[in-house]
Amino acid sequence: MVGYNLKNSEPPISMEDGDSRGYGSLRTLQDCVHCGFCLPSCPTYRVLGTESDSPRGRIDLMKAYANGEIGISNSLMEHISLCLVCRNCETACPSGVRFGWAMDATRARLEEEIHRSVTDRISRRIFFSVFENLAVLRTVMRLLRLSNFLPFMRLSRLLGFSQFSQFIPVTQNVLKNSSGFINPGGRLYKADGNRPATRKVGFLVGCIMSTLLADIDHATLRVLNKNACDVVLCKGQTCCGAMHLHEGEREKAKTLARKNIDAFSKYPDIEAIIVNSSGCGAQMKEYGVLLEDDLKYHKKAEEFSSKVKDLSEFLCGSQLNTSFTSLPDMKVTYQDPCHLVHGQGIRKEPREILRQIPGIHLQEMEDSEQCCGAAGIYSVLNPGMSEQILSSRINSINKTGAKVVVASNPPCIIQYSTRFQNTGDSRRVMHLAELLDQAYSS
C-alpha cells in the first residue's frame, strides 16, 4: 500500500541516449501491495517455500537494492538468478505488477556492478556475441555438426565455460537430424498454388529456430504457405535479444532490437511479423518498453511490436485452412510456454487449432501453465532447480497418458527432448507447426 521511493536512486536520465539502466521498468515495483497472491504461481517458491525465492520476496529485494538499502552479495545474486523470469507471477498479480520488466532491469544494473573474473567475462562475451550475428551462429553450428564436438567441449572448458559445454552434446544430437539452416536473405516463400494469395507476412527465423531447430522453421513456412500467405524472410533480421535482456545484457538487447526494427521496416507491405518461438514473440511485442526512452526508436518500436503475431495467434485470427488429411489417432498434451501464456496472454488459440486437427486428442495436464524449467539458458545455469521443476511437469504429463507434448518454444523443446532421450522415453515433444505440417501433408 505504501509505495517505495525509487526516486533516490534515479540518475538524470538522458532522453537522447536512452535510459540504459531501465529505471522506467523498475517503477512497476511500486504497484506491489504485498498481497502474496503470486506465491503459489511461482515454481521456485513451490520447491523452496522461502519468501526470498518468491515473487513478492524478490520484489522486496529488488526495491531494497534499487534504494541502496542492500548491496550486491552472494545471497542476493542467488535469489535473483534463481528466478526463471517465467512471469507466471504476472498472470497471478491483481495489481498488474510487470515483474519481468523489473527483473530484466535489475539484472542489467547488477551486471554493471558485479565483479566477474576475466575468463567469466570473456566467455560471456563470446557466448552472447555468437547470437548477435546469425551468419556467425550458422558457422558455429555448422562446425558443431561437422566436428566430433570434443574440441568444442575442450575449448569451452578452457574458457571456463564448463556449464555451457553441457549444451554441446544436446546440440549435436538435435543437429544430426536437422535439415538445412535457414538464411533470412530476403527470400520469398510463395503461398500454396491451390489458394489465392491474399496476405503478405514477414517471418522472424530466430537464432535457435533457424539453425538447431530448422525443421520447425521449414514446417512453419509450409504451414503459412498453406494458409494463403506469401512469406518473406526479411533481410537484415537478427536474434530477438530476449536471452541478452534476461541475462542482464540490456544494451546488447537494445542494439538487436533496433536492428530488427530497421530490417523489418524495409518491408512496409507486410501485414504481420510472424514468430514461431514464444520467447522471441514476447520480447518483440515489448520492444516499445525496452526502447521507451529512445526518442528515435520508441515510436518505431511500438509500430513494430503491434505487427508481431505468434503463429497460433495469427492462424486463429484468420481463417484457418482446415483441409487436413487425418493424422493417425494420437493423444497429445499441451504445455503452455511461459512467454506465450504469461508474456503474451495466449492460451486459447493453440488449443483451438489442436482441436481442429482430425486424429488429435488433446488431454489437458495439471498445471500446464507452470514453467518446465528450461527458461532460456536457465537449465544450464541452474541445473538442480531446473531438474526439480521439470520432474513435476513430467509427473503431470504421466497422468495424461499422452504420447506427444506440444510446446512451441525452443528451450521447452530442448528441455523435454533431452529428458526423454536421457531416460529412454519414447514420448516426443513437438511444435504446433510440425503437427499442422504433418496434418497438411500426410
Partner 1 sequence: MIPITQSLRDDFIRELGREKVLHTKEDLLPYRYDAFALVKGEAGLAVLPSSTHDVSTIVKICNKNGIPFLARGAGTSLSGGSIPLENCIVILFSKMNRILEIDYDNRTVLAEAGATNISISSAVADRGMMYAPDPSSQLVCTIGGNIAHNSGGLHTLKYGVTTNHILAAEVVLHDGEIVQIGSKARERIGYDLLGLVNGADGTIAVVTRALLKIIPKPRNVKTLLAEFGSVEHAGDASSEIISSGTLPAAMELMDNLVISAIEDSIHAAGYRKDVGAILLVEVDGPEDENELDSRRVIEICYRNHSTAVKVAEDESQRQRFWSGRKGAFASMGRLGTNYIVQDGVIPRSNIAEALAKIGSIGRQFNLRIANVFHAGDGNLHPLIIFNEANGETEKAIKASVETIRICTELGGSITGEHGIGIEKRDLMGLMFNEKDLELMRWVKEVFDPNMLCNPCKVIPQGSRCLELIPGLAIK
Nearest-approach distance from CB 41 to partner 1, in angstroms: 9
Beta bridge partners of 334: 406
Q: Which of 94, 185, 268, 328 binds partner 1 (CB under 8 A)?
A: 94
Measured CA to CA, the distance from residue 98 to residue 82 in angstroms comes to 18
User: What's the rounded Cα separation, in Å, for the pair 271 and 254?
Assistant: 24
Question: For strand 188-189 and strand 229-232, is the pairing parallel, antiparallel, or unpaired?
Answer: antiparallel
> Among residues 11, 68, 96, 328, which is the contact residue for partner 1, using CB under 8 A?
96
Q: Taking the CA of residue 442 as centre, how many other CA atoms within 13 Å lie in the half-sphere pointing to its CB?
A: 15
51 binds, among ligand SF4, partner 1, none (CB under 5 to 8 A by kind): partner 1
Kindly report the number of other CB atoms within 10 A of residue 161's CB atom.
Answer: 22
Considering CB distances under 5 to 8 angstroms, the limit depending on partner class, which of ligand SF4, partner 1, none binds residue 79? partner 1
Tell me the C-alpha distance between 257 and 57, whole Å.
31
Work out whether 8 is an interface residue with partner 1 (CB under 8 A): no
Span from 16-24, 47-55, 140-148, 186-194 in contact with partner 1 (CB under 8 A):
47-55
Which of ligand SF4, partner 1, none is residue 407 near (CB under 5 to 8 Å by kind)? Answer: none
378 sits in the region (left: phi over 0; alpha: psi -120 to 50; else beta) called alpha
Contact 24, 45 (CB under 8 A): no
Pairing of strands 330-334, 272-275: unpaired
Q: Which of residues 22-41 bind partner 1 (CB under 8 A)?
A: 30-31, 33-37, 39-40
Determine the angle formed by the axes of helices 250-265 and 278-285, rounding to 10 degrees. 90
52 to 91: interface string for partner 1, x by CB under 8 A: x-x-xx--xx--x-----x--x-xx--x------------
42 binds, among partner 1, ligand SF4, none (CB under 5 to 8 A by kind): ligand SF4
Q: Provide φ and ψ at 229, rounded to 5°.
A: -120, 130
Q: Closer to partner 1 by CB, 106 or 227: give it.
A: 106
**Contact between 404 and partner 1 per CB under 8 A:** no
The least CB distance from residue 265 to ligand SF4, in Å, is 31
Task: Calculate Rg over the CA atoms of the chain.
Answer: 21
Report the interface residues with ligand SF4, using CB under 6 A.
32-38, 41-44, 55-56, 58-59, 83-89, 92-93, 95, 97, 99
Q: Which residues contribute to the site for partner 1 (CB under 8 A)? A: 1-3, 30-31, 33-37, 39-40, 45, 49-52, 54, 56-57, 60-61, 64, 70, 73, 75-76, 79, 94-96
